[in-house]
Chains A and B, each alone.
Chain A
Amino acid sequence: MPCYIDPEGFYAFAVANNGPTVKTQSTSITQEVTSTYPAQEYPMPHIDVFAIANSSAVYTAPCSTPKPASTNALLPKTWFAGESYNITITGTGFTTPANATAACPVTPVVAKTSTGSVGLSGVTVVSPTQITATVMPDASDPTELAEITVGNSSNGGAFSVRTQILGNQIQCGPSLNCTPTVISTTDGSTPPAQTAVVGQQIVLNTTTPVTTAYDGPTLTPTWTVGGTNIGGWTPSNTSGPPPNPTTLNNTPNLTTYWIYPGNAIPVTYQYCVNIQGANPVLQCSLPANAAFNVTGPSVSSMSTPTGYVGIFAGPLLGYGPTGIQFNPTLSNTTGDSGQFDWVQLITNDTLTLTSTTGTIQTCINVTVPPTSSGTGLDTLYPYATGTSTHDNPSGQLNSTTYTREARSFSAQMYLLWDPLLPSSIPVPLGSVTWGWSGTAAYSSGSWSLISSSTTTPSWGTSSSYPTWSDLMPYSGQVLCQ
């Protein structure tokens, strides 16, 4: 059985448990021992090795072999990029400065990553069983596995412990066509501003793993999005719900839409992990910062020339002959791209009908779904497209049934712009409130206007979306009481 004596400069001999045949050799550390002791005195064969200082004896012995502890050989094992951690390596066979020699130096420690880098400082071999150090993965490191190597494989041996670096990067979704894909910084420097337009679907991804390699799930992923933004808007003819808010919490990916232009609009992302051995246990990533320059059209003014309330050929009671026109003066348009959408909400449309028998009824137009509101989306979504539109609501006068017909009408016309990009949505630019009323009376075989009024059109710039829950199809059906 060979035995090894370390360090050199010692005189060595060995005693076997069954009666030694001691051989000594000053130039070799290998001794052969023949067992002659009765087995019953030493049930387990063993060899006692003694070393006695002897200035004339020189042995070259291997360094001690570092070995990791069976559990928690490295704590913490999860590191956020850009953060520093005091780590502790636990095991056996570490060579301390006090025990180090020229041949067996202090146990070295090396940190390696596959793509990023890790700063390693303050390595201290506290004892043969403990090493401490400070690590700091580079702020730009992606999420990847890293490795701590303890010892020297060519001198005493080494072992490696795996660790995970958690990067924090915001990446563009495919529709944004960013180059490079990573658009964020975490070191406090100004991120490069990306370009976008209002209404464009902004999809941002991160490299956040659902679960870390060693410390359980990632927690509380949180986005902070500057500017006025929403999570989407899904109108139909019968429903114009309020826009969805952007989902900012508990999602590693972001889908949002900006509805106002702006420069250097900030987007920030951060997430956390409970890391064993860290202090405090709950550790969070550095914020990843991105920025967007968002462009889009705006309306500097709105011209709304109007006609008049009267009796027109048909005969019709209406706001004619061309009603009201909506002619915006646009600025910051994006060339020929995109589309302007008009959406009109009827806020009041009441008919007061006096029958030939003298009965007076108040009527509203039937809605879909049927409600008693008498308000809702005017006819269809969108009302019209293009850079201008108009309206001249009217109604057929029916002298067979009625001797007097009055109508009170008010509406709000919204102007929106849709960039017409994949999954884009229209964004509101503002709206015009307007209205009219008129009363027609039938006498001596003809209709005449006996009273009328108009509401001066009023334009307001606004990022408010039109909302409705009923469609007014104007199919001629009315609900009277």
Chain B
Amino acid sequence: MIKIAMLGLLFTSCAGAVVKGDLSLKLTVFDPTVKTGSKIGIRVTTTNESDHPITYHNTNLCNYSFKVFTSAGSPAPETELQKSLNCDFRGPMTGITGRNILVTLKPGESSSEDFRLLEFFDMSEPGEYSVQVDRTFPNIGRVSSNIVTITVTP
């Protein structure tokens, strides 16, 4: 799973105390029914549900942890890219960033990122897949999204 390698202690400035529930994650799928092999695009939208601004950083693919299950409850196979991300790795250079986008959300504001699931999971087998994403935000904790269903047809 894509996991957090490093989160925003980087230049983070949070106004006010943040608590779990201050941020929400909403997962939407661009096309809930796709033919096998077609792109499966999803959008992760983070919304500030609090009454104060919240700042965090979007850095690497390990920011998010996607859970993809088949209708039988089995985890969908990971692609080589997903395996090679090695989000659990910890070393002396852990925390180095290339992309480092500072996101500040005012109360009620949202920010979203798009992903192509097929780059991370093998969903070529026709059937129904359920997808959920988690993200751990500094000073807030782990936030889980809604679950969406994607139907892959032959």
Q: Is B100 an interface residue (CB 8 A)?
A: yes
B11 touches A389 (CB 8 A): no
Are B96 and A391 within 8 A (Cβ)?
A: no
Residue from B61, B85, B94, B96 with most neighbouring chain A CB atoms (10 Å):
B96
Contact across chains for A392 and B60 when beta carbons are under 8 A apart: no
With most chain A CB atoms within 10 A of its CB, the pick from B9, B87, B89, B98 is B98
Name A314's contact: one of B9, B85, B90, B98 (CB within 8 Å).
Answer: B9
28 contacts between A and B (CB under 8 A): A236-B119, A237-B61, A237-B81, A312-B10, A344-B98, A363-B93, A379-B59, A379-B60, A379-B99, A382-B114, A384-B99, A385-B114, A390-B102, A391-B98, A391-B100, A391-B101, A392-B11, A392-B102, A394-B10, A401-B92, A402-B92, A473-B62, A474-B96, A475-B62, A476-B89, A476-B91, A476-B95, A478-B91
Q: Tell me if B1 is interfacial: C-beta within 8 Å of chain A.
A: no
The stretch of A101-109, A203-211, A317-325 that contacts the partner chain: A317-325
The smallest beta-carbon distance between B109 and chain A, in angstroms, is: 13
For B71, list chain A residues within 8 Å (CB).
none
**Cβ-defined contact, B116 with A389, below 8 A:** no
Cα of A478 to Cα of B90 in the assembled complex, Å: 11
Cross-chain contact B100 with A392 (CB below 8 angstroms): yes
A463 lies within 8 A of chain B by Cβ: no
Query: CB-defined interface of A367-387 with B at 8 Å, one 1/0 digit per residue?
Result: 011100000001110111100
Interface residues of B (CB under 8 A from A): 5-6, 9-11, 58-62, 81, 84-87, 89-102, 113-116, 119
Q: How far does the Cβ of B138 sit from chain A's closest Cβ, in whole Å?
A: 12
Q: A411 vs B97: C-alpha distance in the bound complex, in angstroms?
A: 13
Candidate in B10, B84, B91, B93 with the most chain A CB atoms within 10 angstroms = B93
Q: How far is the CA of A478 from the CA of B6 in the complex (A)?
A: 15
Find chain B residues with CB under 8 A from A312 CB: 10-11
Complex Cα gap A193–B133 (Å): 47
Residues of A within 8 A of B116 (CB): 236-237
> 0/1 per residue, A399-438, Cβ < 8 Å to B?
0111000000101000000000000000000000000000
CB of B103 to closest CB in A, whole Å: 10
Who on chain B is nearest to A478 by CB? Answer: B93
- The docked-state distance in angstroms from the alpha carbon of A153 to that of B85 is 83
A398 and B91 CA atoms in complex are apart in Å by 10
Task: Judge whether A331 is part of the interface by a CB distance below 8 angstroms.
Answer: no
| In the complex, A125 has a CB within 8 A of chain B | no
- Chain A residue nearest to B111 (CB atoms) is A386
Contact B98 A477 (CB under 8 A): no
Greatest chain B CB density within 10 A among A236, A237, A323 is at A237
Binding site for B on A (CB under 8 A): 236-238, 312-314, 316, 318, 320-323, 344, 346, 349, 351, 363, 365, 368-370, 378-380, 382-385, 389-396, 398, 400-402, 409, 411, 471-478
Cross-chain contact A314 with B10 (CB below 8 angstroms): yes
Contact of A379 among B9, B61, B84, B94 (CB under 8 A): B61
Q: Enumerate the 4 nearest inter-chain pairs by beta-carbon distance, A residue then B residue, closest first.
A: A476-B94, A396-B95, A379-B99, A395-B96
Question: Are the C-beta atoms of A384 and B119 separated by less than 8 Å?
Answer: no
| Cβ A393 vs Cβ B92 within 8 A | no
A351 and B91 CA atoms in complex are apart in Å by: 14
The answer to whether B85 and A475 have CB atoms under 8 Å apart is: yes
Q: If the complex has contacts A313-B11, A314-B10, are A380 and B94 also in contact, measured as CB distance less than 8 A?
A: no
CB distance from A361 to the nearest CB of B (A): 11
Q: Is A394 a contact of B100 with CB atoms below 8 Å?
A: yes
| Cβ–Cβ contact A368 & B96, under 8 A | no
Known interface pairs A316-B11, A392-B10, A392-B100; 16 further A-B residue pairs with C-beta atoms within 8 A, sorted by A's residue number = A238-B119, A316-B10, A320-B11, A351-B96, A379-B98, A382-B114, A385-B113, A393-B97, A394-B11, A394-B97, A402-B92, A473-B60, A475-B5, A475-B86, A477-B86, A477-B91
Closest Cβ neighbor of B116 among chain A residues:
A236
CB distance from A373 to the nearest CB of B (A): 14
Write the nearest CB–CB distance from A389 to chain B, whole angstroms. Answer: 6
Measured CB to CB, the nearest residue on chain A to B6 is: A476
Q: Are B93 and A351 in contact, CB atoms less than 8 angstroms apart?
A: yes
Q: How far is the CA of A411 from the CA of B100 in the complex (A)?
A: 13
B38 to chain A, nearest CB (A): 11
A398 closest partner in B (C-beta): B92
Q: Are B61 and A473 in contact (CB under 8 A)?
A: yes
Contact yes or no, B84 A368, CB < 8 A:
yes
Closest to B3 in A: A475
Q: What chain A residues lie within 8 Å of B92 (beta carbons)?
A: 398, 400-402
Q: Which residues of A contact B114 (CB under 8 A)?
A: 382, 385
Q: Which residues of B contact A370 (CB under 8 A)?
A: 84
The answer to whether A380 and B91 touch (CB under 8 A), given A238-B81, A476-B6, A477-B86, is no
| With contact pairs A395-B93, A396-B93 given, residues A474 and B99 touching in the complex (Cβ less than 8 Å) | yes
Q: Which residues of A contact B100 (CB under 8 A)?
A: 318, 323, 391-394
Q: Which residues of A contact B10 (CB under 8 A)?
A: 312, 314, 316, 318, 392, 394
CB of A471, distance to nearest CB on chain B (Å) = 7
Chain A, residue nearest B12 (CB): A313
Q: Determine the chain B residues whose CB is within 8 A of the CB of A346 once the complex forms.
A: 98
Knowing A314-B10, A321-B11, A471-B81, the reply to whether A390 touches B101 (Cβ < 8 A) is yes
